[in-house]
Amino acid sequence: MQPREVAAAPQPVTLRPAREGDAELLAFWRQEPSVGRYQPLGPVTLPRLRAELAGNNHRDLFRGRGEKFQWIVEHRGQPAGWITLVPTNWEHGLAEIGYALSTPFQRRGIAPLALRRLLAEVFGRTSLERIEARCAVANVGSRKVLEAIGFRREGLLRGYFVLRGRRVDNYLYAILRGDFVAGP
Ligand SMILES: CC(C)(COP(=O)(O)OP(=O)(O)OC[C@H]1O[C@@H](n2cnc3c(N)ncnc32)[C@H](O)[C@@H]1OP(=O)(O)O)[C@@H](O)C(=O)NCCC(=O)NCCS
């Protein structure tokens, strides 16, 4: 008897480069209270968001140039949040990462999957060697996600930003190419 072919299950979490038409979505997500609870997301106009996304040329990432890249995280085909990667120094292979999920998609294990997928791409196909992330000390969910995927806590950034009128301490995390273990 021939073994039955089993169709591969669709990946629940996928990433796609953000495009100009995602500006409204990003503007909507940015004003959600849970998204801004631990990070100051200042007001950005739609034209500015559109312009920023229009300049999001992902081919540059793989050619070792460019200043900012954004992806939309999708959960079962639905837009769920976004990830931003900012290379701060191409010569030394440094970049910073930021991420957020819209409220209904939080606490469902989506961010670790999405970030792992992105890091696999970044460490597999670009010359970036060290990715940093910062998060408010009180942002327990974000800290757990970073630690689960192999980021190491390297320090405390005192009074790092102003959130609702108060200076807030952040932790600095980083992952090096050699720390990264591709997960599910
Ligand atoms: C923080 C965030 C990225 C976490 O991603 P997520 O996909 O929701 O996280 P997970 O569902 O994988 O949860 C990871 C762990 O954190 C915990 N957690 C998640 N959100 C939490 C919260 N708000 N408070 C306390 N713990 C939380 C989960 O219970 C889980 O714990 P466990 O590993 O012990 O079971 C997401 O909630 C989010 O986008 N929040 C708003 C924006 C933001 O804070 N971005 C990060 C800025 S640095």
At 12-69, the pLDDT tens digits run 999 999 999 999 999 999 999 999 999 999 889 999 999 999 988 999 999 999 999 9
Joined together, the tokens standing for residue 119 give 């890091």
Which atom of ligand 1 lies at the shortest distance from residue 105's CA?
A: 8
pTM (predicted TM-score): 0.94
Ligand 1 centroid from CA 100, angstroms? 9
Find the DSSP H helices in 87-138. Answer: 110-125
Nearest CA to ligand 1 atom 12: 109
CA–CA distance, 102 with 167 (Å, rounded to integer): 25
Query: Which residue reads 């000390």 in tokens?
Result: 137
Q: Which backbone phi and psi does 3 adopt, to 5 degrees?
A: -65, 140
Which atom of ligand 1 lies at the shortest distance from residue 100's CA?
A: 39
Query: Which residue reads 């312009």 in tokens?
Result: 51
Distance of CA 14 to the CA centre of its chain: 12
Q: What is the dihedral of CA 111, 139, 130, 149, to 10 degrees?
A: -40
Query: Does ligand 1 lie within 6 Å of residue 106's CB atom?
Result: yes
Structural domains in the chain, CATH included, are 13-179 (3.40.630.30)
At 119-171, the pLDDT tens digits run 999 999 999 999 999 999 999 999 999 999 999 999 999 999 999 999 999 99
Cα dihedral sign, 16-22-26-29:
negative
pLDDT of 184:
59
Q: Which of 39, 106, 153 to mutate to test the pocket of ligand 1 (most atoms within 8 A of CB)?
A: 106
Buried b vs exposed e over 109-125: b needs ≥16 C-beta within 10 Å? ebbbbbbbbbbebbbee
pLDDT of 7:
57
Residue 8 has pLDDT above 90, yes or no: no
Query: Does ligand 1 lie within 6 Å of residue 108's CB atom?
Result: yes
pLDDT more than 90, % of the chain: 89
Q: How confident is the model at residue 11 (pLDDT cuts 50, 70, 90)?
A: confident
3-class SS shares of the chain: helix, strand, coil, % to 5: 35, 35, 35
DSSP state of 108: S
Ligand 1 centroid from CA 108, angstroms? 8
pLDDT of 56:
84
CA–CA distance, 119 with 129 (Å, rounded to integer): 10
Which atom of ligand 1 lies at the shortest distance from residue 34's CA?
A: 41
CA–CA distance, 176 with 94 (Å, rounded to integer): 10
Residue 1 has pLDDT above 50, yes or no: no
Query: Does ligand 1 lie within 6 Å of residue 111's CB atom?
Result: yes
Residue 3 has pLDDT above 50, yes or no: no
Mean pLDDT of 71-83: 98
pLDDT of 43:
87
